[in-house]
């Protein structure tokens, strides 16, 4: 548990120095540049949507990527987490 927490902190720090992408939902840095959301928001998305987001992003299929991102936004809104910062983060 503690080591997983430290690993995610390391990823956040590494991201802050680099080509940071921000979570499409809450604006927190994403764990990797190919992910469009922070870990908390990423993990609530269905697995097939996550793989579609990664696939379309890495292949530069912007139309597919945007469609997947809109699906993700709908899911976040449905879950009531849209544009809210995780309490665990504060
Ligand atoms: Zn987020």
- CB distance 84 to 26 below 8 Å: yes
Q: Is the pLDDT of residue 86 over 80?
A: no
Over the stretch 40-82, which tens digit does the pLDDT of each residue have?
Answer: 999 999 999 999 999 999 999 999 999 999 999 999 999 999 9
Domain ranges of the chain: 2-89
Looking at residue 15, its pLDDT comes to: 46
Residues with CB under 5 A from ligand 1 (ion): 23, 25-26, 28, 38, 41
Q: What is the pTM of this model?
A: 0.71
Query: How far is residue 46's CA from residue 60's CA, in Å, rounded to a whole number?
Result: 21
Query: How far is residue 48's CA from residue 4's CA, in Å, rounded to a whole number?
Result: 24
Query: How far is residue 89's CA from residue 53's CA, in Å, rounded to a whole number?
Result: 24
Q: Cα(37) to centroid of ligand 1, in Å?
A: 5
- CB distance 78 to 21 below 8 Å: no
Q: Cα(60) to centroid of ligand 1, in Å?
A: 22
Contacts of 36 (CB under 8 A, 6+ apart): 21, 23, 24, 30, 42, 53, 57, 69, 72
């Amino acid at each position: 548990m503690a080591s997983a927490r430290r690993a995610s902190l390391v990823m956040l720090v590494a991201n802050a120095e680099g080509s940071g992408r921000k979570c499409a939902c809450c604006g927190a840095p994403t764990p990797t540049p190919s992910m469009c959301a922070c870990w908390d928001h990423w993990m609530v998305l269905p697995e097939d949507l996550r793989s579609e987001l990664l696939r379309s992003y890495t292949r530069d299929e912007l139309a597919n990527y945007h469609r997947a991102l809109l699906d993700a936004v709908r899911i976040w809104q449905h879950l009531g987490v849209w544009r809210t910062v995780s309490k665990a983060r504060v």
